[in-house]
Chain A
């Protein structure tokens, strides 16, 4: 069955500290991989995506993610967290092709301490 697991429901980090949000997936074929962020009152915003090629992808707001096929993982990282990064983060997979539904993880809520 196709699924995405985000094992951490809630994470708190101090401002300036590094961040890693975990994501593991189960998918029959090679999927497209995504990280979205949702700030309060906002829609989901795409942070970054992986299709193929370089397994380390850069996104907006200083985020990056690394695809590890052997571990079926696509973890999100940021070297130094800012207070404005407090939000909920969603990992998702989609079919390797046009259109198609996304399968999401449960989300990880990030709190940032001053």
Chain B
């Protein structure tokens, strides 16, 4: 079974440009999460989809970030326009619906390293 995949693995863009990151979750996983790690800091939650609906987007930094999950399958995270402080590693994770005792293990992708110059 394929794991969570993310594309691209690296992206280097200039300030003011637009970048779109993609995440393909494990097939059948209803929950999809985006996290971000800025250099030297902790991994921080951005948002959570349940199927195609945004369950929690409390971690989105500002309105330059737009996340979508069309048809409840893959998800994209667009940054427009990108700023220097957006540099970091963006992780995607997915989990099944309600599991044993209500816990759903989150499976992480390898991340996309974004560098904004």
**B44 interface contact, C-beta 8 A:** yes
**A67 interface contact, C-beta 8 A:** no
Chain A residues within 8 Å of chain B by Cβ, number? 24
In the bound complex, CA of A42 to CA of B110 (Å): 5
CB < 8 Å: which of B91, B95, B101, B103 contacts A43? Answer: B91
Contact A101 B48 (CB under 8 A): yes
- How close is A26's CB to chain B, nearest CB, in angstroms? 13
- How close is A21's CB to chain B, nearest CB, in angstroms? 15
Q: Mark B43-83, 1 if CB is under 8 A from A, else 0.
A: 11100101000011001000000000000000000000000
Contact A98 B104 (CB under 8 A): yes
With a cutoff of 8 Å between Cβ atoms, the chain A residues found around residue B44 in the complex are: 104
With a cutoff of 8 Å between Cβ atoms, the chain A residues found around residue B41 in the complex are: 106
Chain B residues within 8 Å of chain A by Cβ, number? 32
Residues in A99-114 with C-beta less than 8 Å from chain B: 99-107
With a cutoff of 8 Å between Cβ atoms, the chain B residues found around residue A103 in the complex are: 45
With a cutoff of 8 Å between Cβ atoms, the chain A residues found around residue B56 in the complex are: 100-101
Contact A46 B110 (CB under 8 A): no
- How close is A31's CB to chain B, nearest CB, in angstroms? 12
The verdict on A44 contacting B91 (CB below 8 Å), with A98-B98, A101-B48, A107-B42 known, is yes
In the bound complex, CA of A98 to CA of B98 (Å): 6
Nearest-CB residue, chain A, relative to B106: A102
Nearest-CB residue, chain B, relative to A9: B40
**A51 interface contact, C-beta 8 A:** yes
Contact A101 B104 (CB under 8 A): no
25 contacts between A and B (CB under 8 A): A4-B42, A32-B103, A36-B108, A43-B3, A43-B107, A43-B108, A44-B91, A44-B93, A45-B108, A46-B105, A46-B106, A46-B107, A49-B103, A49-B105, A97-B102, A98-B99, A98-B103, A99-B31, A101-B33, A102-B33, A104-B42, A104-B43, A106-B40, A106-B42, A107-B43
Which B residues fall within an 8 A CB radius of A? 3-4, 31, 33, 35, 40-45, 48, 50, 55-56, 59, 91, 93, 95, 98-99, 101-111
